[in-house]
């Protein structure tokens, strides 16, 4: 089943990327995905199509199962593609390792890499710094700085206390929560999802966490970038709505494909296209990845789900509606 999906995706990508310039063969890009093909991958693929750069996309999806990572690393070593695309913070950390302690037996080496939908790559030690990655790896960030997110939240409605629910197993979530803690101090109510006996996050604990947030009398519920919560976003956002908790998310899917109230987000499609641009710099222009800075989009989208606002009777200020995108 998984294999068929891979072939289908690769084929469709090749069809879209019609060659326009003389090139011996299409660039071979191996795409390592965490939870399947989504909007960021669309943006990445469409960039090459728009630029008429022929590419052959070899798509591998671990479906959030990190145990598959060593196998993928091995495959990369065998296939030796022109470029590796890594989607997601957890997968990037596992497949690439720390920038200053790479283990060639466990991590991808010898191939240029671009990462996408990765949170805090410096904090997660994927690169030395955004301007100087320190290894043949570059990519994009998609989360606005925590400070900017908090200000965006206050622009909707000023607050004093905020609760946050997150998966304690995910480094990206932990990293962002730590930054929020630095900013808000005791006004942040941290509600990590409970772990089951296997050490995995328990989806059944989400309603409890929501109730705790409600009882703590917070003004907002903040959701950091979190793959586990994304997978359970419907339950999470519906539960928050029922309890009258306005939910502000760092990523678009909680608002676009859930019932979250608002979020300051980079659109996945745009981030994917921006990552495609970085890949083009490496493939077409021959720039070493270590010389390409890791950047974020300069424009973010303020997403507001008006249906949730009506349900909560929590309407955005008029001035914000002028610039916000509504869902």
Partner 1 sequence: MTSDRHLVSRVVIVAALLLTMAVAFVSHSALRSFEAELRPELEREASVVGEIGARTLQRAIELGVPFGSLSGVDEYLVSLLTAQQGLSYVLLTDAVGQTIASAGGGVGSFSGLPAGTLSPQRGGALMRQLGDSYDAALPILEDGRIVGWIHVGISRARLDSVLADMRWDVLIVLLVVLLATSEFLRFSLFRTVSAPVDLVSRLQARLATGDWTTRAQDNIVSEAGQVVRQLNVLVRRMNDRWDRLRWMATQSDAALRAGAVLDGVRQRLRFGLASVQDGLGTGAASGRLPLFLFVFAEQLSTSFNPIYALELAGGQGGIMGAALPIVAFVAAVALFTPLGGTVVARRGPRDAMLIGLVPAALGHVGAAFCTDLTTFAIARGICGAGYAVVTIACQVHLAQEAPKGRVARSLGGFTAAVMTGAVCGTAIGAVLADRVGFRMTLTLSMALVLVTALLVWRTFVAGGVTEQKPMGLWRSVRAAFAEPRFVLLVLFAAIPAKVLLGGFIFFLAPLELRELGLSQAAIGRNVMLYGLCMLPAIVFGAWLTDRTGRGGLIITLAGVLNGLALLLPLWLEKDTALPLAIIGTGLAQGLASAPMLAIIPTLSSILGAPNSAVMLSFLRLGERFGSVIGPPAAAALFALSSGQQTMLALGVISLATSVGYALSLTIRKRQQEEEV
71 binds partner 1 (CB under 8 A): no
Task: DSSP letter for 217, please.
Answer: T
317 binds partner 1 (CB under 8 A): yes
Of the pair 161, 311, the CB lying nearest partner 1 is at 311
Instruction: Please state the separation of Cα 262 from the chain's center in Å.
Output: 17
Q: Does 316 bind partner 1 (CB under 8 A)?
A: yes
Q: Decide whether 113 or 264 has the Cβ nearer to partner 1.
A: 264
d(CA 312, CA 242): 9
Q: Do 281 and 213 contact (CB within 8 A), yes or no?
A: no
Q: How far is the CB of 156 from partner 1 (least distance, A)?
A: 9
322 binds partner 1 (CB under 8 A): yes
Nearest to 247 by CA among 152, 164, 168: 164
Closer residue to partner 1 (CB): 66 or 312: 312
Beta pairing class for 262-265 and 55-61: unpaired
Q: Name which of 132 and 307 has its Cβ closer to partner 1.
A: 307
Tell whether residue 309 is a contact of partner 1 (CB under 8 A): yes
CA distances from 279 to 262, 271, 300 (A): 31, 12, 22
- By rule CB under 8 A, what string of x and - marks binding of each residue 289-308 to partner 1? -----------------xx-
Smaller CB separation from partner 1, 287 or 311: 311
Could you give the CA distance from residue 86 to residue 107 in angstroms, rounded to a whole number? 12
| Choice between 101 and 318, CB closer to partner 1 | 318
- Nearest to partner 1 of 185, 319 (CB atom): 319
Strand pairing of 295-296 and 262-265?
unpaired
Stretch that binds partner 1, among 50-58, 61-69, 190-198, 311-319 (CB under 8 A): 311-319
Q: Is 313 in the site for partner 1 (CB under 8 A)?
A: yes
Q: What is the Cα 28 distance to its own chain's centre?
A: 23
- Residue among 172, 299, 318, 325 that touches partner 1 (CB under 8 A): 318
Question: Under the criterion CB under 8 A, does residue 158 sit at the interface with partner 1?
Answer: no
What residues contact residue 19 under an 8 Å CB cut-off, 6+ apart?
Answer: 26, 52, 53, 54
Q: Can you give the three-state secondary structure of 40-106, one letter per residue? A: HHHHHHHHHHHCCCCEEEEEEECCCCHHHHHHHHHHHHHHCCCEEEEECHHHHHHHHCCCCCCCCCC
For partner 1, which residue of 257, 269, 277, 315 counts as binding (CB under 8 A)? Answer: 315
Chain residues that interact with partner 1, rule: CB under 8 A: 306-307, 309-310, 313, 315-322, 326
């Amino acid at each position: 089943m998984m294999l068929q999906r891979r072939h289908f995706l690769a084929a469709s990508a090749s069809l879209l990327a019609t060659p326009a310039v003389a090139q011996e063969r299409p660039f071979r890009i191996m795409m390592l995905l965490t939870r399947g093909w989504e909007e960021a991958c669309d943006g990445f693929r469409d960039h090459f199509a728009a630029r008429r750069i022929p590419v052959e996309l070899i798509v591998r999806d671990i479906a959030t199962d990190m145990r598959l990572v060593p196998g993928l690393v091995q495959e990369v070593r065998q296939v030796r593609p022109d470029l590796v695309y890594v989607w997601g913070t957890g997968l990037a950390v596992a497949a690439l390792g720390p920038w200053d302690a790479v283990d060639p037996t466990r991590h991808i080496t010898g191939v240029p890499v671009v990462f996408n939908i990765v949170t805090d790559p410096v904090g997660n030690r994927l690169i030395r710094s955004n301007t100087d990655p320190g290894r043949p790896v570059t990519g994009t960030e998609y989360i606005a700085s925590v400070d900017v997110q908090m200000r965006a939240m206050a622009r909707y409605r000023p607050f004093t206390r905020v609760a946050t629910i997150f998966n304690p197993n995910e480094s990206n979530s932990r990293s962002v929560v730590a930054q929020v803690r630095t900013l808000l101090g005791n006004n942040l109510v941290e509600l990590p999802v409970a772990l089951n006996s296997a050490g995995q996050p328990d989806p059944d604990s989400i309603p409890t966490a929501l109730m705790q947030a409600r009882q703590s009398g917070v003004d907002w519920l903040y959701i950091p970038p979190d793959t586990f919560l994304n997978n359970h976003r419907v339950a999470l956002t519906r539960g928050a709505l029922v309890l009258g908790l306005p939910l502000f998310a760092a990523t678009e899917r909680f608002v676009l494909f859930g019932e979250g109230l608002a979020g300051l987000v980079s659109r996945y499609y745009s981030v994917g296209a921006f990552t495609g641009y970085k890949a083009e710099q490496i493939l077409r222009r021959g720039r070493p990845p270590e010389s390409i800075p890791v950047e974020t989009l300069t424009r973010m989208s303020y997403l507001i789900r008006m249906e949730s606002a009506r349900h909560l009777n929590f309407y955005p200020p008029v001035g914000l509606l002028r610039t916000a995108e509504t869902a």
